[in-house]
Amino acid sequence: MNVPIEWWAGGGNARARRTGIDSALGLLGLRRAFVVDGVRYVERTAEPLRRALGARGRGFKEYDVTFADGDVMRIRATRERFYPDLISQRIPPLGRLIEVLVRPGMRVLQIGAGTGQTAAWIALCAGASGSVVALERDGESVRFARRRFQGANIAFEVAGVEALTGELDGAFDGVLAASGVESPLELWRVVVPGGWLLAGDALAGALRDALPSVGPLGEAVGDAAIPLRLVLFRKPGEVSPQTPPPQDEDGPEAP
């Protein structure tokens, strides 16, 4: 996902923006360190993130990360590799929509999971009786996600749609594929009758072309800072009577 520079600067639904102190540290050539949910980040350079990813910047910025269990990792933020902790983003852009769609006990698949925050939010909504399979082709993103968002009901894998070959028909109650157009029929195959597929605009078009009889239930738009159009499809069939009732409107706490 190509993230606008304004988002990295603390736009969107981020709770915190860079302060005057942060700017002063950059001018003095001092590296900034901060902690989010027990995870410590230390800048490798004093250059502000927005400048590093701007048109005149290097196109990346690196951080040394120490996780709560003492494990360490070096990450490289780019326009395509998005780390929400760097801008104090506590709720993913699709968080509220996920709260509506995902119920406790559901098994959900995410294609293009990035650095893991959205998958972790899905796992919170699905609860201990549910599970999330999060596929992402970028190895660094998956290595980070496995350390940052640990849980018994979530699995991050370096893979794409091809990894679904061994999955049974109707293996998932819901599928989230916000980007790409890869294998729409394969994604539709693994949705259980009565389940849903939340697809990016391009994938939705490919699915309509492949299955003209399948009509969308509705459309949604992501956060204004990341203009993302999504289309919701429901697979024909009865919804399982064991599907739990919706969660409270307040939703889960941020991961």
**For residue range 192-240, what is the model confidence (pLDDT) as tens digits?**
999 999 999 889 999 999 998 887 776 655 544 455 788 999 999 876 5
Whole-number Å distance between alpha carbons of 190 and 65: 36
144: which 2 tokens? Answer: 């980070």
User: How far, in Å, are 61, 70, 114, 115, 218 from residue 142 at the CA level?
Assistant: 18, 18, 7, 6, 31
pLDDT at 49: 93
Kindly state whether residues 66 and 159 are assigned to the same domain.
Answer: no
**DSSP code of 86?**
G
Kindly state whether residues 112 and 12 are assigned to the same domain.
Answer: no
Identify the residue with better confidence: 33 or 221: 33
Q: pLDDT averaged over the chain?
A: 83
Kindly state whether residues 103 and 225 are assigned to the same domain.
Answer: yes
Kindly state whether residues 41 and 137 are assigned to the same domain.
Answer: no
254: which 2 tokens? Answer: 């941020």
pLDDT at 18: 45
Kindly state whether residues 103 and 22 are assigned to the same domain.
Answer: no
Instruction: Tell whether 169 is covered by a domain.
Output: yes
User: How far, in Å, are 41, 50, 82, 201 from residue 184 at the CA level?
Assistant: 38, 35, 25, 12
Instruction: Tell whether 241 is covered by a domain.
Output: no
Instruction: Tell whether 140 is covered by a domain.
Output: yes
Contact call for residues 233 and 196 (beta carbons, < 8 A): yes
pLDDT of residue 7 exceeding 80: no
Kindly state whether residues 68 and 122 are assigned to the same domain.
Answer: no
Number of folded domains in the chain? 2
C-alpha neighbours within 13 Å on the C-beta side of residue 203: 27
pLDDT of residue 19 exceeding 80: no
pLDDT at 23: 52
Contact call for residues 179 and 205 (beta carbons, < 8 A): no
Contact call for residues 109 and 133 (beta carbons, < 8 A): yes
- Indicate the pTM of the whole model: 0.81
What stretches of the chain show up as alpha helix (H) in DSSP?
Answer: 5-8, 20-28, 49-52, 95-101, 117-126, 139-148, 184-189, 201-210
pLDDT at 9: 42
Domain boundary, last residue among 87, 109, 140? 87
Kindly state whether residues 114 and 33 are assigned to the same domain.
Answer: no
**Least reliable range by pLDDT among 83-87, 204-208, 227-231, 244-248:** 244-248
Instruction: Tell whether 25 is covered by a domain.
Output: yes
Q: What is the pLDDT of residues 133-166, one digit of tens each?
A: 999 999 999 999 999 999 999 999 999 999 999 8
pLDDT at 26: 53
In CATH, what number is assigned to the domain containing residue 128?
A: 3.40.50.150
Range(s) of the domain holding residue 210: 95-234
Domain boundary, last residue among 44, 70, 87? 87
Domain boundary, last residue among 87, 119, 139? 87
Question: pLDDT-derived band of residue 41, with 50, 70 and 90 as boundaries?
Answer: very high
- Percentage above 90 pLDDT, the chain: 62
pLDDT at 250: 53
Residues 6+ apart with CB under 8 A from 92: 84, 98, 117, 118, 121
Question: pLDDT-derived band of residue 191, with 50, 70 and 90 as boundaries?
Answer: very high
pLDDT at 3: 41
Token pair 């849903």 is at which residue?
A: 196
DSSP letter string, 102-134 = --TT-EEEEES-TTSHHHHHHHHHH-TT-EEEE
pLDDT at 174: 97
